[in-house]
Amino acid sequence: MARLCIILVIIFWASAFVGIRHAVLGYHPFELALFRYLVASMTLAVFAFIQKIRLPETRDLGRLFITGVIGISVYNVALNYGELTTTAGEACFIVNMAPLLTALMGFYLLKEKIRFHFGVGLVISFLGVSIIAFSFSNGIAFKQGSLFILMAAIAQSLYFVLQKPLLKKYTPMEVTCYCLWSGTIALVPFGYSFFGKIIHVDLQYSLCATYLGIFPAATAYLCWAVVLKNIDASKAASFLYIVPIIVILIGWVWLDELPSTISIIGGSVAMAGVVYANKNKASLI
């Protein structure tokens, strides 16, 4: 089950980079974030009703809300702003610093122990992602958009780490629902203008935002919670190094952009790092 969830997360989150790049042409970053997560919230509400999820304990409300604000609100608004001025490939490269950040945060905050070859695998994968990034441009200029994407990477890492203890007490569905709903509520004061704008925006942007809400948001976040329920946060995050490879493939199909030789080399290096870092369960205690 965890393997299937990892595959779905990789595919859906990869498609989100291209989808966001398209949708921000029609919606302001705050509007897009709210639109996307209102759709995701309604989608999860249906599953929550069917499964009859438990109400959270009062003492956990603060942690759930903070986790949702960081992992949903901050992450998505920062990513949306960043993709106004960076390509999907550049954004994906910077966000994929998250596995390294997650490993460090997991080590210091969750006391997750990392063996040497796991760290080496992370470095190899990071090198591969770097190679891919340089195939999209002549080098990443650390401009304003890049700073927003870096903020998103930090927010994503914190979300992974803050979510882990909650999964010891609640089901993946419960944690995902309450965090996602919290993040959506926090977005309302800033993105409410989309309600009056939606009827004037080209339908393609609204359909794209709807897709982002149902699949990269609701479905992928739920799958990710299942993954974290079964393996350590740092090990789970290492699989996200495969995302840039899928971004290249989606760009190839959607935008008719053929991957360059250096992109293929970088993708191969990134995948080799993931395989090496996760070659056996004993790599992470």
> Residue 284 — φ and ψ, nearest 5°?
-135, 120
* Residue-level pLDDT at 2: 75
How far apart, in Å, do the first and last CA atoms of the chain sit? Answer: 21
Domain boundaries, the chain: 2-283
- At residue 145, the pLDDT reads 75
Residue/partner pairs of 133-136 with CB below 8 Å, 24 or more apart? 133/89, 133/90, 133/93, 133/94, 133/244, 133/266, 134/262, 134/266, 135/89, 135/259, 135/260, 135/262, 135/263, 135/266, 136/87, 136/89, 136/90, 136/93
pLDDT given at position 141:
47
- Are the C-beta atoms of 270 and 125 separated by less than 8 Å? yes
Q: Using an 8 Å Cβ cutoff, are 91 and 83 in contact?
A: yes
pLDDT at 285: 29
Cα within 13 Å of Cα(245), Cβ side: 19
Give residue 283's pLDDT: 34
Strand partners, 284: 114
Spell out the per-residue pLDDT of the chain, length 285, in tens.
778 888 899 999 899 989 998 899 999 999 999 999 999 999 999 989 988 899 999 999 999 999 999 999 999 999 999 888 777 777 777 777 766 677 767 666 666 666 777 778 778 877 877 776 665 555 554 456 778 888 898 898 888 888 888 988 998 889 989 999 999 999 999 988 888 889 899 999 999 999 999 999 999 988 887 887 777 766 776 777 788 888 878 877 876 766 667 767 877 887 787 677 766 543 332
pLDDT at 110: 63
**Taking the CA atoms of the chain, what radius of gyration do you get in angstroms?**
18
**Cα–Cα distance between 191 and 195 in angstroms, integer?**
9
